[in-house]
């Protein structure tokens, strides 16, 4: 099944994959025939464990590379050769595993500003300009964590810390936010706040690329769904066409039902 989304944007796509193949230990773990992401689009990537979701986003962030072809398999704004610094400027990344890397006591504001330098906090050699500090506070306000600026990050709840990581990813004002399973490990309150934050960011004009196992994370602002299965693009299209009982059951190979309420979707297993 492959219901491609027709996109009428006339601008250069932000990203284009064409016959992009990633190989590990001699086997292809991801093979994408064709995929295009335009600036301003909000998408969710859904698929079973091991279907290639993390590899897919690492292709976007250039943490993994596809097999070489004469026709470049990955184009970023139409260009094959892109500086990593340009990618980092354009794309902010939040993943649930980033939290495990916070091993030291440091004020929240330092953790957020560390995003400017790719470090855990602000090191002695770093200078944070007034503009960057203002941007850090703007990001924290957007995520509703500005009142935590002086708190030790290790004293925050998992949900609060996750929103601080969102602010950190926003500190350099990227256009695109890649969110890799942002609700993993959160309780219902934490999930509520993170999902509200995703909505706020989309409404503030950021492009959202969300990787998730939960249709509940697919907030109303996300309209396009990319389904991965067995390292291949299983379907790509409008979410209302793909978030169905039949498609989810076929994707995960267990009986599943989708419930829809007020622009949100949830998955119900048949036990």
Binding positions for ligand ATP, rule: CB under 6 A: 24-25, 29, 47, 49-55
Nearer to ligand ATP, 55 or 132 (CB): 55
Residue closer to ligand ATP, measured from CB, 49 or 85? 49
Contacts of 2 (CB under 8 A, 6+ apart): 233, 234, 235, 236
Provide, rounded to whole angstroms, the least separation between the CB of residue 22 and ligand ATP. 8
CB of 234 to ligand ATP, least distance (A): 12
Q: How far is the CB of 232 from ligand ATP (least distance, A)?
A: 11
| Shorter beta-carbon distance to ligand ATP: residue 25 or 127 | 25
Among residues 66 and 121, whose Cβ is nearest to ligand ATP?
A: 66
Give CA–CA dist 18/36, Å, rounded.
9
CB of 50 to ligand ATP, least distance (A): 4
Nearest partner of 188 among 164, 208, 212, 216, judged by Cα: 216
45 CB-near residues (< 8 Å, 6+ apart): 53, 56, 57, 209, 210, 211, 212, 225, 226, 227, 228
Tokens of 38: 């335009």
Q: What's the closest the beta carbon of residue 158 comes to ligand ATP, in angstroms?
A: 19
Which residue's CB is nearer to ligand ATP, number 64 or number 146?
Answer: 64
Give the other-Cβ count within 10 Å of 159's Cβ: 20
Cα–Cα distance for residue pair 139/142, rounded to 1 Å: 5
Nearer to ligand ATP, 25 or 129 (CB): 25
Minimum distance from residue 229 beta carbon to ligand ATP (Å) = 9
| Shortest distance, position 231 Cβ to ligand ATP, whole Å | 6
Cα separation, 218 vs 195, whole angstroms:
8
Nearer to ligand ATP, 234 or 265 (CB): 234
Distances (CA, A) of 37 to 27, 115, 176: 26, 25, 11
Beta bridge partners of 238: 224
DSSP state of 116: T
What burial class does residue 147 get, using C-beta atoms within 10 Å of its C-beta: 0-12 exposed, 13-18 middle, 19+ buried?
Answer: exposed
């Amino acid at each position: 099944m492959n219901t491609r989304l027709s996109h009428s944007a006339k601008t250069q796509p932000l990203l284009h994959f064409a016959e992009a193949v990633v190989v590990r230990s001699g086997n292809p773990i991801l093979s994408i025939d064709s995929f295009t992401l335009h600036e301003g689009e909000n998408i969710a990537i859904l698929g079973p464990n091991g279907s290639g979701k993390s590899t897919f986003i690492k292709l976007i962030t250039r943490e993994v590379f596809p097999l070489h072809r004469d026709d470049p398999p990955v184009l970023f704004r139409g260009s094959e050769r892109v500086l990593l610094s340009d990618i980092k400027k354009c794309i902010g990344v939040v993943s649930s595993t980033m939290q495990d890397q916070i091993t030291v006591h440091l004020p929240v504001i330092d953790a957020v500003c560390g995003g400017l330098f790719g470090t855990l906090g602000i090191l002695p050699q770093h200078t944070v300009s007034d503009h960057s500090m203002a941007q850090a506070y703007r990001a924290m306000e957007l995520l509703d964590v500005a009142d935590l600026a002086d708190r030790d990050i290790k004293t925050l709840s998992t949900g609060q810390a996750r929103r601080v990581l969102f602010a950190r990813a926003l500190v350099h004002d990227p256009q695109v936010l890649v969110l890799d399973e942002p609700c993993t490990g959160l309780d219902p309150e934490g999930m509520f706040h993170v999902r509200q934050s995703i909505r706020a960011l989309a409404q503030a004009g950021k492009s959202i690329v969300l990787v998730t196992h939960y249709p509940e994370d697919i907030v109303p602002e996300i309209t396009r769904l990319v389904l991965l299965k067995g390292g291949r693009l299983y379907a790509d299209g409008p979410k209302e066409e793909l978030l169905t009982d039949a498609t989810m059951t076929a994707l995960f190979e267990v009986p599943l039902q989708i419930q829809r309420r007020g622009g949100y979707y949830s998955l119900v297993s048949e036990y």
